[in-house]
Chain A
Amino acid sequence: MANIPADLRYTKEHEYVKQTGADAIVQIGITDYAQGELGDVVYVDLPKVGASFGRGDVFGTIEAVKAVSELYAPLAGTVTEVNQALEGDPALVNRDPYGAGWMLKLRAKNAGELEQLLNSEAYKKQIGQ
């Protein structure tokens, strides 16, 4: 059973969004379910701080040994921070997807978009859990 915390929001492409407490800044990564499906993550290609994305835009790619997947921005916004640790240790995504394996912090352009994302129940339903 994948761990799908109740306090996060989700996309059907398996990204999660966590509110950081700071104004309009959200943390983004992939779900426990997604890391399990991909297997051992070997590389995460992330954008630079300052890059802007529209909702649903591709912001990076994630690679396992025999799979590669694009990463989609759950919300429109501007990158304020990138998880540098993934460069040296991409397996953090496998070990701790909601913690040390986070990918981006984004200043959301439109805070209302958060409400349009899936809640944990809806996401669980999507992955058949």
Chain B
Amino acid sequence: MNNTATEATIEADPKLPIIRITRDFAATPEQLVRAHTDPEIFARWVGPDGMDTRIIEWDARNGGAWRYVAGREGEEYGFRGCFHEVGPDRIVQTFTYEGMPEGVSLETLRFEDLGNGRTRLHAQSLVDSFEGRDAWLKSGMEVGVDEGYAKLDALLADGSI
């Protein structure tokens, strides 16, 4: 079954320090909200690959906090933030990588119901400056890209996609 006909598209807003990503999924908005708010499900896909995600704190309600640690031998990366709003088709939350604690991104995830069990995710990340956005784009990106391709190959090979 091919349920990923379209890959994620990305746009860097020229006027605001915003990155927008759009991606279609073979799932309902409700399922996607669950995949983002149920800690056990979230830990299974957030990655990056080759790392275990350990949920430390998770309160997926308006105003609730979250924190998780991604790690592999000798390395640990912590992330934390707050769920500002958890709605049926929208999640607003903050996101901080603990290695850059002064940087915080405001994440707005909107789940657009396309019908027939398909949903379009509109993810928007707003940071406080263009410098911050550039640093964000350049940082930590080495992690996971190659592993991502390997994982993709594996998923394609075993027919999951």
Does B associate with A?
no
